[in-house]
A and B are shown apart, each in its own frame.
Chain A
């Protein structure tokens, strides 16, 4: 069985979308919830637990969405910047090195 992955949703507002378009990365976006644009960055179970520990406001929505939510805005901004830098959403291991 493939390793279970837990998404962090980086919701795309106009500023973020403009940054993605500029970097020609708009294609990384998925659409969720009636057209809302999102970048989904996946964490494995170990990474998920580390995120929840390092950022105590974060919450794992185990009941409904199985996603990691409520990371502070500035943390999400840093994740977003990393995606733009690496031109990929596969950045979680790299991102967590700093913590």
Chain B
């Protein structure tokens, strides 16, 4: 049976068999790519970004900027573009009709069938996607760093990435993910977008969303799951290291706060744009492709600074709900109420004066002071694993340092062919 993805199109992996690939890429001009583009090549070819089949041409980019849709009509909110300098375009001989080989880490990764070389107004792109053209917005900064020209065309993976431990079990592409959901018998799955080590506020966001998604379904057997989908990409100093994030998310299942019957952890390679509402729409497309039926959105989803209002993403999603095949689940914040003696929702408890709110930042600050938070706030198994990850992967720190950025284990590599 065809697996239908975002925009109503069948998800087809664009991956060449090794036996075929060698002949196909022989003699092609090689273009090395940076990690952002390698992440996006994986996104495109495994179907995470379906219906995209390659890097966008001008018509798609223009429609995305002006109408939040691809030229073909499917909702799409963030340009996925391949950039080259004028000199590179000339030196590599990149022009419509030419195929080139994209390499990563010196090894062949993907075939790029060039259809179009074009330029686009970056300031306009920023204003449309991010609602601002300020260079200090990290998404705008990334846009301004794009080189002179964009290149559009289809992408086919010629060499599968090798996902390194401890990440390997968590790389579950769309077609495989949908198989897993069927095996588990889940009729509904709700996505939890994260770049964090979970505290109990996050845990309850997931539990709350699970209740919301369960709704009227029968309860004789487990029919609803939570999929943690961690975004793995560019890191900023002071973030939790990726190893700690992915392992602790899964630890909530392993330690029994959830179970195999309702919880699965996975990752997507993507460099966050911090586009707030537009990133929320992108997440809807991504998770539709992964086979999810519901998606959690909290306050200021994927935002940064004060660029977006707390509920802007919810409002934007409401305008396109009919075109989406994923249902947004909105989450209120969870907090600790000493009167109730429990983690509760700000929508439930009325002991407002006694509320003790906590944030990821607050927990990081506690951990940084070498203090183990109470189990109602931060699970001891999660704390222990954060500390273990610091030693094992973080050069002594659970947070990203210069040393980590320089020496970390790459999440994936492209092996020689």
A interface residue numbers (CB < 8 A to B): 9-13, 32-36, 57, 59, 61, 63-65, 67, 69-73, 76
Contact = CB atoms under 8 A, between A and B. Distances in A.
A12 B238 CA distance: 22
A34 B369 CA distance: 17
Determine the main DSSP class of B at the interface with A.
Answer: loop
A34 B338 contact: yes
A44 B133 CA distance: 33
Nearest to B343: A34
B321 interface: no
B362 A65 contact: yes
8 contacts: A9-B362, A33-B377, A34-B374, A59-B361, A63-B359, A64-B361, A70-B368, A73-B368
Nearest to B200: A34
Given A69-B364, A69-B365, A61 B359 contact: yes
B356 interface: yes
Residue among A9, A57, A63 having the largest count of chain B Cβ atoms under 10 Å = A63
Contacts of B356: 32-33
Given A34-B376, A36-B374, A76-B369, A70 B361 contact: yes
Interface of B: 238, 300, 333, 336, 338, 356-359, 361-362, 364-366, 368-374, 376-377
A66 B252 CA distance: 29
Contacts of A69: 361-362, 364-365
A77 to B, nearest CB: 9
A13 B372 CA distance: 8
Nearest to B300: A63
Contacts of A72: 368
Nearest to A15: B370
Nearest to B374: A34
B370 A64 contact: no
A34 B371 CA distance: 14
The 8 A-B pairs of least Cβ separation, nearest first, read: A69-B365, A64-B359, A11-B369, A11-B371, A34-B374, A34-B376, A13-B371, A61-B361
Nearest to B303: A63
Given A64-B357, A64-B358, A65-B357, A36 B368 contact: no
Given A33-B377, A36-B374, A57-B238, A73 B369 contact: yes
B305 to A, nearest CB: 10
Given A65-B357, A69-B361, A70-B361, A11 B366 contact: yes
Residue among A12, A33, A36, A61 having the largest count of chain B Cβ atoms under 10 Å = A33
A65 B338 CA distance: 16
Nearest to B372: A13
Given A57-B238, A73-B370, A76-B369, A33 B361 contact: no
Contact of B336 (A11, A34, A76): A34
Contact of B362 (A67, A71, A73, A76): A67
B130 to A, nearest CB: 20
A35 B374 contact: yes
Contacts of B369: 10-11, 13, 73, 76
Contacts of B374: 33-36
B367 to A, nearest CB: 9
Given A13-B371, A33-B336, A76-B369, A64 B377 contact: no
Given A9-B365, A34-B336, A65 B359 contact: yes
A70 B365 contact: yes
A11 B374 CA distance: 12
B180 to A, nearest CB: 35
B72 to A, nearest CB: 38
Given A33-B336, A36-B377, A76-B369, A70 B364 contact: yes
B301 to A, nearest CB: 13
B299 to A, nearest CB: 8
Contacts of A65: 357-359, 361-362
Contact of B365 (A11, A13, A34, A63): A11
B401 to A, nearest CB: 11
Contacts of B357: 64-65
Contacts of A10: 369
A76 B338 CA distance: 26
Contacts of B365: 9, 11, 69-71
